[in-house]
Amino acid sequence: MTLPTTMKIIEITAPGGPEVLKVQEANIPVPQADEVLIEVKAAGINRPDVLQRMGLYPMPKGVTQIPGLEVAGVVVAVGDQVQQFKVGDKVCALTNGGGYAQYCAVAATQVLPIPENLSFTQAAAIPETFFTVWANLFDIGRLKANETALIHGGASGIGTTALAICHALGIKTFATVGSEDKVEALSDLTTAINYKTQDFEQEILKHTQDQGVDVILDIVGGSYFQKNLNLLKRDGRLVIIGFMGGRIAKEFDLQKLILKRATITGSTMRARTSEEKAQIAQSLHEHVWPLLAQGKCLPQIYKTYAFSDVQSAHECMEQGDHIGKIVLEMNA
């Protein structure tokens, strides 16, 4: 297959608002021995992309500065050591960066086949959120089928993914959201609570006969810390993956932490090693891919944008009204 030498990319021309995202040209990456080169058909938009654009979440040293953490497309070249994929395979991938481009080189261990019943757009909405949810809710959080979970930011890409997987596995969940529209939109998946009009702590205690929940997946951070601690059952686990409500928990009751034997932890996908990401990919393929093939826990797509309209896609993300995922389509 003969490939062009250059491609279109989205460049962050300076830290700032969506207007700093510009379509530029760059050389097509050459896959390393353990990588595949993907012709990107669709790319997911994620909160870290926005933070990177603002200059608040820099790429690790040695990683491309092109934003974009998840893609779906077709394999057009493979490195010498790659055996599990071939040219022509339809795949989705968790990238270390570089997803906002026509071509993206990715470690083969972070690539997964697209189930036949999914489109490229649906598949592009999977990697970042599914990797994050599985790693934090099920690996770190050790959530089990007979337990109960609280998902903060239930209408976000992370939130809808967590709720859909839990629903497919028969796990009882609660979710916090910021509008009645979002409460209604999630009604088939979970018991959603509008935190703007109700005290989510009191509502969940009421629903659980004052027992609380086993695991909390939190993208809010500091402002929810004490309420989260109050809601944990004995031996409960609080997994923090974001700070939309601040990085600092000013005061909390350490005695409650000890008496509940609670575990508080957190992680980011970016800080994980390639080996860790490979393990998560294998676990997803084993446990979640069969559900996707059955039409369960499918990603919820809120809106798609043309590649050239990336500024509008970021504006949509920042407005916070979306329910589910926002996706760039390369040929739209």
pLDDT at residue 332, rounded to an integer: 56
pLDDT at residue 146, rounded to an integer: 93
Phi, psi of 191 (to 5 degrees): -95, 105
If DSSP codes are grouped into helix, strand and coil, which group holds residue 69?
coil
pTM over 0.85: yes
Q: What does pLDDT average to in each consecutive run of 10 residues of the chain (332 residues)?
A: 93 98 98 98 96 91 93 98 98 97 98 98 97 96 96 95 96 97 96 97 97 95 87 96 76 84 88 92 97 95 97 96 96 70
Q: Do domains 6-126+299-329 and 130-266 have the same CATH topology?
A: no
Those residues whose C-beta lies under 8 Å from the C-beta of residue 221, and which sit 6 or more positions away, are: 240, 242, 243, 244, 245, 246, 247, 249
> Architecture of domain 6-126+299-329 in CATH?
Alpha-Beta Complex (3.90)
Give the integer Cα–Cα distance in Å for 161 and 164: 5
pLDDT at residue 203, rounded to an integer: 97
pLDDT at residue 171, rounded to an integer: 97
pLDDT at residue 256, rounded to an integer: 82
Domain ranges (residues) in the chain = 6-126+299-329, 130-266
Q: Which fold has domain 130-266?
A: Rossmann fold (3.40.50)
pLDDT at residue 112, rounded to an integer: 98
